[in-house]
Structure 1
């Protein structure tokens, strides 16, 4: 190869290398630009993720606080029947506080025969139990024992005839809460008196009927009239 040809070949090679170098620089520049874009996108994604995590934490905290407040609210309302968000006003309950069938407590009993005279402070034993839902009444001793705490209604009656007098009283654990008396004279036929009381009784309280004083004549309980004792659960 002569000098001219060699020089031409070298210049051509150098020119090729220069162009390739320029292309590599351009490619490197593009790579650096893309790397910067990726870095920017990564930072943006990181910020978005950080914001999402913060929002999620705040939402969880709000929900936990709301749930805790709701539990406190429910506990207060269940315990006292009061909605704390309504200025302490009493509100109706949608769900009863107990699932037990306390509303089925009821009894009705009466004397199976005429009796008398009866001494003072004698507990009446109504030996015929017509109904005794909840098994609170005992026909063997005449005492009703409250199965659950709550408000109860009690009714008791006395039937006499001829020349007679009788006075009965109802007691809760020995405390008199009501009374009835009736008087009749010869030729008046049957005379019947009764009383109804509403009272609160705790679970296990004893409720019974007794004479206030000695009766005069007979206390009747037959097909014509019944000397009876009854009661039922009203509300808690």
Structure 2
């Protein structure tokens, strides 16, 4: 009888532990539900504010469009504006929507810090571009997009770490235009290689520097306070 009572007592204790654990979990779930409900209410409030702002913006835009006055030319002036000059050309010549005639096309970029040994076909992203008046070089992708057809000069300098070597290429669209090799293997100091190319390109072409598609590279691409790995280009004619 005593053994049975002990057994029942132990089972009751286990049941109490289970009930307490369930109560704890239930309280935790209730708290999470309250947090989620508060978040939903906050989101709904934000949506209401956004809808109010959107409606207000639409009303303001409609009002501006209604009050906008479109100037009109007298019939005689309109007729004259459509006439062409005696040489057959329009008085309003077409303009290039991409660039202005007076815009200088040039960029200069460099690596802000050294990079670990690059893999094959790795585009080198020169992430700092202090000179790029037309914003045609993308310092996040490392790609220069040609804004105007013509002949350009491109040049790049690569510094390789001692005991290292790097094979780089100038790529125009998908084609290798020219290559450069920096070799510091077997020496106890860094070395550099510089290559320059003059290329005829078309508006919309992309130009960038990458590593060789199959040749192995060894060592870092160096760029620091004392030396810079650079990439530059400019419109020639």
TM range (shorter): 0.5 to 0.7
1:190 alignment counterpart: 190
- Report Cα offsets for 1:33-81 as digits up to 9, x if no partner: xxxxxxxxxxxxxxxxxxxxxxxxxxxxxxxxxx98xx49x9xxxxxxx
User: TM-score, normalised on structure 1?
Assistant: 0.56
CA distance in 2 between counterparts of 1:100 and 1:181 reads 37
- Residue 185 (structure 1) shift: 3.3
Report deviation, 1:161. Answer: 2.1
Alignment correspondent of 1:147: 147
Aligned position for 2:222: 220
Deviation at 1:158, TM superposition (A): 0.6
Does residue 1:101 correspond to 2:121, yes or no? no
Which residue does 1:87 correspond to in 2? none
Tell whether 2:125 aligns with 1:125: yes
Aligned residues: 142
Q: What SS does the corresponding residue of 1:133 show, helix, strand or coil? A: coil
Which of 211, 227, 236 is the matching residue for 1:234? 236
- Cα distance in 2 for partners of 1:167, 1:178 equals 11
Deviation for aligned residue 1:187: 4.5
User: Which structure 2 segments of 5+ residues have no match?
Assistant: 1-84, 90-98
Describe the SS at the equivalent of 1:124. Answer: coil
Post-superposition, which runs of at least 4 consecutive aligned residues in structure 1 deviate over 4 A? none
Structure 1 residue 186, shift from structure 2 partner: 5.1
Q: How does 1:1-236 map to 2 (within 5 A)?
A: 71=87, 100-102=101-103, 104-185=104-185, 187-212=187-212, 213-235=215-237
Once residues 142 and 182 of structure 2 are traced to their aligned partners in structure 1, the CA distance between those partners, rounded to angstroms, is 21
Distance 1:214 1:129 in 2: 28
Name the SS of the counterpart of 2:117 in structure 1: coil
Q: Once superposed, what is the RMSD of the aligned Cα atoms?
A: 2.1
Task: Select the structure of larger CA radius of gyration.
Answer: 1
Deviation of 1:145 after TM superposition, in Å, equals: 0.1
